[in-house]
């Protein structure tokens, strides 16, 4: 049996990003002419800036795409790099941003564990998922509720549709699921403090590796120097 391919999940803690790093990323945004967005809260702008610049920079640094990349969105709003053979997906919640790249379609979702919502579960979860969540109590039940939600979100983001009306027909408890076209996809879940991360891909099962990017972002000028030389 072949060994699962390694997939790196990049994690950013926005609370650890200093002003200099944000200034460097803002400079890159201007060079790339990434649209500035108006946000009510500063942390929302930071998430936007980090999501749209670091993902591009690392993608270029690793050779996934060239300098003149064009970000487009499908009919459901999922972004992709036009003409590239590498896909990516992003999610954020609370203090963290996560993203990943792969040669196959992927979806990733990050959520902070919070109190379960029975009304959401009744309308969005399958009977098996409801039983899985309801069989636990307290913090374990809350965690299971978020686990299932992130698995559903990652599946739908891999599919490229986002939240849909048929969420209660999509069973994500098994590691291996099926996309509408019959292709197999694999859903895997990991934990980071009080957060849950799930990733879904149609390229097979992954060996997940969490990569923390605080040091890389603190030295974001290295990326710009690399791209300029």
Q: What pTM was computed for the model? A: 0.86
pLDDT tens, the chain, 229 aa long:
456 788 999 998 888 777 777 777 777 777 777 666 655 566 777 777 777 788 888 888 788 888 778 888 887 778 888 888 899 999 999 889 999 999 999 999 999 999 999 999 999 999 999 999 999 999 999 999 999 999 999 999 998 876 666 788 888 998 887 776 777 889 999 999 999 999 999 877 888 988 887 655 554 556 666 555 5
| Beta strand pairing call for 206-212 and 5-13 | parallel
In the prediction, which pLDDT does 134 show?
96
Rounded Cα gap, residues 7 and 173, in angstroms: 21
Give Cβ neighbours of residue 50 (< 8 Å, ≥ 6 apart).
Answer: 12, 14, 17, 25, 97, 217
CB 159 within 8 A of CB 104: no
Q: Domain 5-228: which topology?
A: Ribosomal Protein L22; Chain A (3.90.470)
Ramachandran area for residue 132 (φ above 0: left; ψ -120 to 50: alpha; else beta): alpha
In the prediction, which pLDDT does 40 show?
54
In the prediction, which pLDDT does 16 show?
79
In the prediction, which pLDDT does 214 show?
66
Rounded Cα gap, residues 60 and 218, in angstroms: 18
In the prediction, which pLDDT does 227 show?
54
Rounded Cα gap, residues 123 and 121, in angstroms: 6
CA dihedral sign of residues 122, 125, 131, 134: negative
Spell out the domain ranges in the chain. Answer: 5-228
Could you tell me the CA-to-CA distances from 143 to 43, 46, 90, 114, 198 in Å, in that order? 25, 27, 21, 8, 13
Rounded Cα gap, residues 210 and 149, in angstroms: 20
In the prediction, which pLDDT does 220 show?
53
Which spans in the chain are helix H?
19-32, 42-61, 118-124, 127-134, 138-159, 214-218, 221-228
């Amino acid at each position: 049996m072949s060994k699962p391919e390694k997939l790196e999940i990049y994690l950013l803690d926005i609370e650890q990003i200093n002003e200099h790093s944000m200034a460097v990323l803002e400079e890159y945004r201007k060079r790339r002419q990434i649209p500035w967005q108006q946000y009510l809260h500063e942390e929302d702008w930071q998430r936007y800036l980090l999501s749209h610049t670091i993902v591009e920079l690392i993608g270029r640094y690793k050779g996934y795409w060239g300098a003149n990349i064009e970000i487009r969105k499908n009919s459901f709003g999922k972004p992709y790099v036009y003409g590239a053979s590498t896909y990516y997906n992003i999610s954020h919640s609370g203090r963290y941003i996560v993203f990943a790249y792969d040669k196959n379609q992927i979806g990733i979702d990050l959520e902070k564990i919070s109190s379960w919502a029975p009304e959401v579960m009744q309308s969005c979860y399958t009977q098996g998922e409801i039983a899985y969540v309801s069989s636990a109590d307290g913090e374990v039940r809350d965690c299971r509720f978020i686990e299932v939600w992130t698995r559903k979100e990652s599946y739908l983001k891999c599919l490229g549709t986002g939240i849909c009306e048929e969420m209660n027909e999509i069973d994500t408890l098994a590691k291996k699921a099926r996309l509408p076209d019959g292709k197999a996809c694999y859903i895997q879940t990991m934990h980071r403090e009080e957060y849950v991360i799930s990733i879904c891909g149609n390229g097979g099962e992954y060996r997940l590796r969490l990569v923390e990017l605080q040091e890389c972002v603190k030295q974001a000028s290295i990326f710009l120097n690399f791209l300029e030389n």
